[in-house]
């Protein structure tokens, strides 16, 4: 069964039909740039562009980089603040011609996909997925059950939001070497999260997951096992499609 998933990020919006039997994209994903500023109307228009590329006419799952309750956006750190209070499901649904739309937090979507099809499959105890991209998203699971909207990228680290120091964007903006970023930024962040939650497993996702060999060797001193996301940067799309299917069958 194929269901459409869209992943809204701070820099790009990507989507594709997903084969939920395999937990993999059924077609090559289509990506457009996130508009700047990333206002609700403009982002909804770009989502419609991605969906229209495939001529899709069924249910759609959409991730959002912030807290989402129901389909209402509660926080918007890396997109325009006018998103706060917006019914994203209704807005995007209108933009895609009235198709049913399910909206959820982006890292939660990636986490559900990884726990079902990827690096977290069959794992019990506390598992934390972290998406390292424009910001840092988080998904926390206890014995496979999601604690939604945790937003651990906004924990304070040296007086700043952690994502401002330890995200992939911070590494690129400050032109840090992989070793410096991993040892001075990411390792300290992981140690802080580990102190608070004592997970058995960290899954590191987002765009940098495909370059895990460049930074994983420097993350010594963390007690939890650390692995890259197996679905790489497609996890959000897969998780969005899973949420859309779940909503359609309720």
For 112-153, the pLDDT digits (tens) are: 999 999 999 999 999 999 999 989 999 999 999 999 999 999
Which residues, 6+ apart, have CB-to-CB distance to 201 below 8 Å? Answer: 119, 120, 123, 125, 126, 127, 128, 224, 225, 226, 227
The predicted model gives 205-229 an average pLDDT of 95
Query: What is the reported pLDDT for 250?
Result: 84
The predicted model gives 7-19 an average pLDDT of 96
Query: What is the reported pLDDT for 158?
Result: 84
Per-residue pLDDT of 95-107, as tens digits, reads 999 999 999 999 9
Instruction: Tell me the C-alpha distance between 232 and 211, whole Å.
Output: 10
Tell me: domain 2-105+234-249, CATH 3.30.420.40, correct? Answer: yes
Query: Does residue 169 register a pLDDT over 90?
Result: yes
Query: Does residue 221 register a pLDDT over 90?
Result: yes
Query: What is the reported pLDDT for 207?
Result: 84
Instruction: Tell me the C-alpha distance between 134 and 7, whole Å.
Output: 13
175 neighbors 190 (Cβ within 8 angstroms): no
Which residue matches tokens 């990636």? Answer: 110
Q: What is the mean pLDDT of the chain?
A: 97
Query: What is the reported pLDDT for 157?
Result: 87
Looking at residue 55, the DSSP 8-state letter turns out to be T
Q: Which three-class secondary structure state does DSSP give residue 207?
A: helix
Domain ranges of the chain: 2-105+234-249, 119-230
Per-residue pLDDT of 23-41, as tens digits, reads 999 999 999 999 999 999 9
Structure-token pair, residue 104 = 């959820």
Fold match between 2-105+234-249 and 119-230? yes
Instruction: Tell me the C-alpha distance between 213 and 218, whole Å.
Output: 10
Q: Which fold has domain 119-230?
A: Nucleotidyltransferase; domain 5 (3.30.420)
Structure-token pair, residue 167 = 């995200």
Instruction: Tell me the C-alpha distance between 33 and 59, whole Å.
Output: 23
Q: In angstroms, what CA-CA distances link 65 with 133, 142, 215?
A: 11, 22, 24
pTM for the structure as a whole: 0.96
């Amino acid at each position: 069964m194929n269901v459409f998933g869209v992943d809204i990020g701070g820099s790009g919006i990507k989507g594709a039909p997903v084969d939920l039997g395999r937990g993999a994209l059924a077609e090559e994903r289509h990506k457009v740039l996130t508009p700047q500023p990333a206002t609700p109307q403009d982002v909804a228009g770009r989502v419609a562009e991605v969906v229209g590329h495939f001529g899709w006419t069924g249910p759609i799952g959409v991730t959002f980089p912030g807290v989402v309750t129901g389909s209402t956006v509660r926080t918007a750190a890396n997109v325009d603040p006018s998103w706060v209070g917006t019914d994203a499901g209704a807005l995007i649904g209108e933009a895609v011609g009235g198709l049913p739309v399910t909206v959820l937090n982006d890292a939660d979507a990636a986490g559900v996909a990884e726990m079902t099809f990827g690096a977290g499959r069959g794992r019990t105890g506390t598992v934390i997925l972290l998406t390292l991209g424009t910001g840092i998203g988080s998904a926390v699971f206890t014995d496979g059950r999601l604690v939604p909207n945790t937003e651990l990228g906004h924990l304070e680290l040296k007086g700043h939001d952690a994502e401002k120091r330890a995200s992939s964007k911070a590494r690129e903006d400050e032109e840090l070497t992989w070793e410096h970023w991993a040892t001075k930024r990411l390792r300290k962040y992981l140690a802080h999260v580990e102190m608070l939650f004592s997970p058995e497993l960290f899954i590191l996702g987002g765009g940098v997951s495909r370059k895990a060999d460049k930074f994983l060797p420097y993350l010594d001193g963390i007690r939890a096992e650390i692995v890259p996301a197996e679905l790489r940067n497609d996890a959000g799309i897969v998780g969005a499609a899973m949420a859309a299917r779940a909503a359609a069958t309720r």
